[in-house]
Structure 1
Amino acid sequence: MHRRRYLAAVGTSLSVGLAGCSSALAVFEDNPCSGEDCHIGMNRTEFLPKTHEITVGETVVWKNTSEADHTVTAYENLIPDEAAFFATGGFEDQETAYDAWRDERGGGIGTRETFEHTFDVPGTYEYFCIPHERANMTGEIVVSE
């Protein structure tokens, strides 16, 4: 009889102890970056978080937190008119970024590599990952005054 109570108590304490682990994992999956080394992480086909809000003059750091190669490429027609185009690899426009990726995987960032860009114009900036665009790997940066 005491054995059953003991096993029930052990089972209950084990369940309670592990409950925090699953919620910590869920937070990591929502954003694998702590903000100290990066603001936006990447899993296989998502930017995490998908939307990031900042103020004018701030720098955003993306980090490839997956095992796949990725790019960070602005949609030229979905950034403010006065804003500078941005893309991993330093390309000046979206077409050049596409061509570089197709030719030699140009602009790709590997596992644990980072890319950063400073946003000087307020507005919404939409961007994507070239090799995972069909999987809807997109994100947005919202820049306020």
Structure 2
Amino acid sequence: MNRRVYLAAVGTAASAGLAGCSSALSVIESDPCSGGDCHIGMNRTEFLPDSYEVSVGDTVVWKNTSEADHTVTAYDELIPDEAAYFASGGFENQEDAYNAWHGERGGGLGSRETYEHTFEVPGTYEYFCIPHERANMTGEIVVTE
């Protein structure tokens, strides 16, 4: 058998097989909460989806759908004035959340762990993941009446 023909055939078959795997992975990663046990998933450096709309009084559930540890941490200055601050770990403000994470990884969500928060005030709430903030792991919740 001609070695070049064989290698070309094997390479094409392998590429086709990998292409199928990568497209399946993309489907899984684009909607990690399709099973209904969460609203927002987390991959290595993204909230999925990164923007989510709810009504006043709704509870949002985040689920760490990756193998990396993550946090859900509101930006103090980027939530409505009357709104309650939220962060995995139950911290009162962004500084406390930072200190807890950098001290003993406080507020961290391990793989498959969840965090939930009920939104009582309309407006836009911006949040982030402390260990992946530099990678721009941010999201927003838009709460309507």
Q: TM-score, normalised by structure 1?
A: 0.82
Equivalent AA in structure 1 for residue 50 of structure 2: K
Q: Deviations over 1:16-50 (max 9, x none)?
A: xx97x93x543322220026200000000000000
Question: Percent same amino acid at aligned positions?
Answer: 77
Report how far residue 125 of structure 1 moved.
0.2
Alignment pair present for 1:142 and 2:138: no
Alignment: residue pair count: 127
Gaps of 5+ in 1: 1-14
Aligned to 1:72: 72
Residue 107 of structure 2 aligns to a residue in which SS? coil
Moved more, 24-33 or 99-108: 24-33
Name the residue aligned to 2:83: 83
Across the aligned residues of Structure 1 and Structure 2, the Cα RMSD in angstroms comes to 1.7
SS of alignment partner, residue 106 of structure 2: coil
C-alpha separation between the residues in 1 aligned to 2:88 and 2:64? 12
CA 1:36–1:134: 2 relative to 1, 3 Å: same
* Change over 3 Å in CA distance of 1:81–1:35 after alignment to 2: farther
Question: What is the match of residue 48 of structure 1?
Answer: 48
TM-score (structure 2 length as normaliser): 0.82
CA distance in 1, matches of 2:27, 2:83: 32
Structure 2 partner of 1:7? none
- Map residues 60-139 of structure 1 onto 2, 5 A cutoff: 60-139=60-139
